[in-house]
Structure 1
Amino acid sequence: MRLQILGLTLLTTTVLADGASILAAMSKISSSTAKLNNTVTDFSAGLLGLADVVPLLIDSTNLLHDINSGTKVASSSANLTVPETIQVASATSSLVADVQTVLTSIVNAKPKFDKLVLVSPVVLVNLKEQKRATDKFSAAVVSKLPAAFVEVAKGLVAPIDTAFDAAIAEYKPF
C-alpha cells in the first residue's frame, strides 16, 4: 500500500507542463539573450575588456542553462493545443529576432574579443554549445505541436540555425 501511495505521489508531482510553461521558458531565454546582448555590446576593447570577461562568461553560461531548462520543460510538456501553438509561434518570432540580434552583436564584437586572445576561442565553444542546446530546445517544442503546424514551425526557427552558422563561421580559426 505504501508503495502505491508513493507511486501516486510521484505521478502527481511530475505533472506535465503546458503551453504556459513553454512560454515562460521562452520568456526566460529571451531575457537571458537580451542580457547577454547588453554585455556583448558593452564589452570594452583592449585591456579594459579584461574586466568584462567574467560577466560575458556568466551571461553566456546563464543563457545556456536557461535553454537547457527550457528543453526539459518542453520535453515534459503535454502536446500543445492550437491556441497554445499560436501563442508559442508568436513568442518564437520574437525569440528568433532576439537571437539574431545577439549573434550579430557577437560577430561585431569579434575584433574586441580577438585583442584578448583567449576570448574568441571561448566564444566559439559557447556558440557551438548554445547552438546544440537551441536545436534540442526547438526540437522539443516542435515535437509538442499539432502535426499540421510542424513544418511551419521548422521554417519559423530556421533563421536561428542560419544565424548560428554564420556566427560560428566568423569565429572559426580557419
Structure 2
Amino acid sequence: MHISLLPISLLVARALADGAAIVAAMTTIGNATVKLNSTVSSFPDNPLLDLLDVGGLLTDSISLLNDINAATHIAQASANLTLLEAISLAQSTISLASMVESTLTNIVNSKPKFDKLVVVSPVILLNLKSEKSATDSFGAAVVAKVPAALQATAQNLLAPIDDAFNSAIATYGEFAL
C-alpha cells in the first residue's frame, strides 16, 4: 500500500511545485520590474549621450522581457493549479500589478527626459510593445492553469496591467511610423 501512495504523493508534490514555480517566476519578474523602475528613476534629467545611462535602460528592459518569457515557459509547463495555488497566485498577481503600474507610470512620466535623446523614446515604445506581448502570453498561460471557476477573476486581476501598458504605449505611440 505504501508503494501505491508514492506516485500519488509525487503528483501532488509536482502540482504544488508548479504553483510555487509560477509564484517564483512572478517574483523574478517583480524584481526585474523594480530594477527597471530604479533605472528609469535615476535616468538623468538633462542627459548627454551617455551610453551607460541608455545601455542600463536597455539592459534592464531586455532582462525583464527575458524573465517574462521564461515565466511563460514555466506556466505553460505547469500542471493545472489547485484552488490554494490559485489564491496564492492571486496575491502575487496583485503585488506584481502594483509594481508594473508604478514602473509604467514612471516610464510615462519620464518621457520628456527620454525625448531629449532622439532615439530613446522610439526604442522604449518597441520595448513596451514587446513586454506587453510577452506579458499577455504569460497571463494567458497562467489563466489557463487556474481552475475554470476562477479564470474570469484571474483575467480581471490582469486588467490593470493591460491598462497600464496600453496607456504607456499610447503615450509613446507618437513615434510609430
The aligned counterpart of 2:125 is: 124
For the residues of structure 2 that align with 1:131 and 1:164, how far apart are their CA atoms?
A: 6
Change (3 A) 1:101 1:49: farther
Superposition deviation, residue 46 in structure 1: 2.7
For the residues of structure 2 that align with 1:53 and 1:46, how far apart are their CA atoms?
A: 13
The aligned counterpart of 1:42 is: 42
For the residues of structure 2 that align with 1:88 and 1:23, how far apart are their CA atoms?
A: 6
Change (3 A) 1:148 1:49: farther
For the residues of structure 1 that align with 2:77 and 2:59, how far apart are their CA atoms?
A: 27
Listed as ranges, the gaps of 5+ residues in structure 1 are: 1-14
Q: Which amino acid aligns with 1:96?
A: A
Which range moves more in the overlay, 49-58 or 138-147? 49-58
Runs of 4+ aligned structure 1 residues displaced above 4 Å come to: none
The aligned counterpart of 1:52 is: 53
Assess if the C-alpha contact under 8 Å between 1:127 and 1:164 holds in 2.
yes
Residues 1:168 and 2:169 are matched in the alignment: yes
How many percent of aligned residue pairs carry the same amino acid?
Answer: 56
Superposition deviation, residue 28 in structure 1: 0.1
What pairs up with 1:74-113 in 2 under 5 angstroms?
Answer: 74-113=75-114
SS of alignment partner, residue 169 of structure 2: helix
For the residues of structure 2 that align with 1:171 and 1:135, how far apart are their CA atoms?
A: 19
Deviations for 1:65-123, whole angstroms, at most 9, x for unmatched residues? 00000000000000000110000000000000000000000001100000000000000
Superposition deviation, residue 62 in structure 1: 0.1
For the residues of structure 2 that align with 1:156 and 1:92, how far apart are their CA atoms?
A: 7
SS of alignment partner, residue 47 of structure 1: coil
Superposition deviation, residue 172 in structure 1: 1.1
Assess if the C-alpha contact under 8 Å between 1:80 and 1:146 holds in 2.
yes
Q: Which amino acid aligns with 1:22?
A: I
For the residues of structure 2 that align with 1:91 and 1:146, how far apart are their CA atoms?
A: 17
What pairs up with 1:24-39 in 2 under 5 angstroms?
Answer: 24-39=24-39
Q: Which amino acid aligns with 1:118?
A: V
Superposition deviation, residue 132 in structure 1: 0.1
The aligned counterpart of 2:151 is: 150
| RMSD (Å) for aligned C-alpha atoms | 1.3
Q: Which amino acid aligns with 2:95?
A: S
The aligned counterpart of 1:10 is: none
Deviations for 1:42-71, whole angstroms, at most 9, x for unmatched residues? 001233462310000000000000000000
SS of alignment partner, residue 132 of structure 1: helix
- How many residues are aligned here? 160
Residues 1:73 and 2:74 are matched in the alignment: yes
Assess if the C-alpha contact under 8 Å between 2:47 and 2:113 holds in 1.
no
